[in-house]
Structure 1
Amino acid sequence: MKQLFYILIVFISTSASFAQNEALFNDANAHYNEGNYAEAIDKYESILDTKEHSAELYFNMANAHYKLNHIAPSIYYYEKALLLKPRDKDIQNNIAYARNMTIDAIEVIPEVGFSKLIQTITNTFSFNNWAKLSVALVVLFVILFLGYYFSNSTAKKRVAFVTSLSCLLLACVAVAFAFHKYDLVEKDQPAIVFAKEAQVKSEPNLRSTEAFKLHEGTKVQVLDTVSSWKKIQLSDGKTGWILNEDVKMLKIF
């Protein structure tokens, strides 16, 4: 009875929070439509303070920041919206406009040859889907092997044996791609530069030489963190160290 009471309390509080956030969201949208972008952002941030996250919320926040020419926040929230809805055309189109406001022109080094092929195949499915595929193939292998073992026909035995081994081989390949996908996701630690102009150092200390400068809105990959510094890599392969306060991680929700 006590457990049921706790469940009821949680349900009521969750429903009340959802209703309140929905009212805040509608209020924020009304401010946005009236051109009161700063007020809309305040309302959207109030929703984020309740730990509620959605692609729609981030997208609307990004739009409001874009209207105010806030380069880094607009790109940051578009990128977060893309993490939740990577195939959304509206987000893709709007982030392209926001990126045009950035100063840094960084060349993207494309994947080529066998490496590109592996990346393309790996990104076909998520880690979970690769894992599910490998389990399905193992189950199919077991069924076919049992068919081979109990079959009295030589022809059927041959077919069952070959197809069962093929399923086992494909299952191993699927497992390899699953681990590769997991590794890619874990290593993918994007961040957005928020400083108007940030000095990127050759080593993680202020006395080291300057490697290059970056400006707000530029997207980087974080490779390591040492004290108050982050080691970053650009899309052209250049690396350096930047102060923690100058960048904001994207995968923190």
Structure 2
Amino acid sequence: MHNRLNHFFYSFILLVISPLFLYANGNPDALFAKGNNQYAKAQYKEAAQFYQEVLNEGYKSAEVYFNLGNTYYKMGEMAPAILYYEKAYKITPGDQEISLNLQLANLKIADKIEVVPEFFLTKWWKSFFLFFSAQALSVSVVVFLLLGFALLIVYLFAISISIKKPAFYVGITLLVLGLLSIFIVSTQSRYLNSSSQAIVFNGTVNVKSGPDDKSKTLFVIHEGTKVTIKQNDDNWIKVELPNGNIGWIEVIAVKEI
């Protein structure tokens, strides 16, 4: 009887504390902190493993992608560094630090491709709506709309003209700003998701005129180069470079952003 009670007691304790150990090991925040700790010690390979575990847990954020990009940059692996910087920038397109690190990583790859010049108004508009982070815009939408509606309620129920008039105009202004923020968020989202982009991971890739090995090689691109995927054909993808050059490469040569 005594042995049974002991067995039950230890089984109960194990049942209670096991989830705690699992949580401690699998908690994204704990894994992220471990990754940061390893990064601070210059243990970049171990740091990358912890950050990757965070992603494997289903937790994706600009911070994790950015730190993972920094880790690969420190290890001199520019293709994964650029991939994760691009993933981070896709979440927070207005982040200047991510943009700077991405530029630095691109300086270290073989291909220096000139981007096709954009019409100045298009370039200005793109710079404008990408300047703001999605998080800041989301907060702005909530704040502007709530305050705007609150002031319109004040306008409806206030008796004094000195209160009604400013409440109306400020309320309308805030609602317009809220709607403008919604428009910018949707524009950002459409732009970032309008085309599928990828980073070349193979050292050297022959870009073909058609989706097969027998097609003519048009030009060569190298690891770390970003391409836009225009078409899929089984194991091949049609890609466009920033300079407008187009051709076919094998899908295994790239990883999508």
Give the superposition deviation at 1:12: 0.5
Cα 1:12–1:110 shift into 2, 3 Å = farther
Instruction: Indicate whether 1:130 and 2:153 are aligned.
Output: no
Match of 1:181 among 164, 188, 191: 188
**Whole-Å separation in 1 of the counterparts to 2:145 and 2:163:** 20
1:76: which partner in 2? 79
Instruction: Indicate whether 1:152 and 2:159 are aligned.
Output: yes
Asked whether the 8 Å contact 2:48–2:71 carries over to 1, the reply is no
1:98: which partner in 2? 108
Code of the residue aligned with 1:125 in structure 2: it is F
Q: Deviations over 1:104-155 (max 9, x none)?
A: 3311234443222321221122334323312222212211211221233345
**Whole-Å separation in 2 of the counterparts to 1:7 and 1:90:** 47
Cα 1:122–1:88 shift into 2, 3 Å = closer
Give the superposition deviation at 1:7: 7.8
Instruction: Indicate whether 1:197 and 2:207 are aligned.
Output: no
Give the superposition deviation at 1:22: 4.8
1:10: which partner in 2? 19
1:221: which partner in 2? 228
Runs of 4+ in 1 over 6 A off after TM superposition: 4-7
**Whole-Å separation in 1 of the counterparts to 2:215 and 2:193:** 29
Q: Deviations over 1:185-210 (max 9, x none)?
A: 32364422233332223443445554
Q: Deviations over 1:197-227 (max 9, x none)?
A: 3222344344555443212332223344332
Task: For structure 2, list consecutive stretches of 5 or more residues without a partner in the other structure.
Answer: 1-12, 56-63, 90-94
Asked whether the 8 Å contact 2:106–2:224 carries over to 1, the reply is no
Instruction: Indicate whether 1:247 and 2:240 are aligned.
Output: no
**Whole-Å separation in 2 of the counterparts to 1:8 and 1:189:** 45
Paired-residue identity, %: 21
Code of the residue aligned with 2:152 in structure 1: it is F
Q: How does the TM-score come out when normalised to structure 2? A: 0.67
**Whole-Å separation in 2 of the counterparts to 1:62 and 1:237:** 28
Instruction: Indicate whether 1:141 and 2:148 are aligned.
Output: yes
Asked whether the 8 Å contact 2:200–2:255 carries over to 1, the reply is yes
**Whole-Å separation in 2 of the counterparts to 1:129 and 1:8:** 39
State the superposition RMSD in angstroms: 3.8
Asked whether the 8 Å contact 1:198–1:242 carries over to 2, the reply is yes
**Whole-Å separation in 2 of the counterparts to 1:161 and 1:234:** 51
2:71: which partner in 1? 60
Asked whether the 8 Å contact 2:82–2:106 carries over to 1, the reply is no
Match of 2:245 among 232, 238, 243: 238
Instruction: Indicate whether 1:120 and 2:162 are aligned.
Output: no
Code of the residue aligned with 1:78 in structure 2: it is A
Code of the residue aligned with 2:82 in structure 1: it is E
Number of matched pairs: 225
Match of 1:171 among 172, 178, 186: 178
Q: Deviations over 1:158-193 (max 9, x none)?
A: 333222222222222111111111122323644222
Task: For structure 1, list consecutive stretches of 5 or more residues without a partner in the other structure.
Answer: 33-39, 67-73
Cα 1:237–1:149 shift into 2, 3 Å = same
**Whole-Å separation in 1 of the counterparts to 2:192 and 2:49:** 30
Give the superposition deviation at 1:88: 5.8
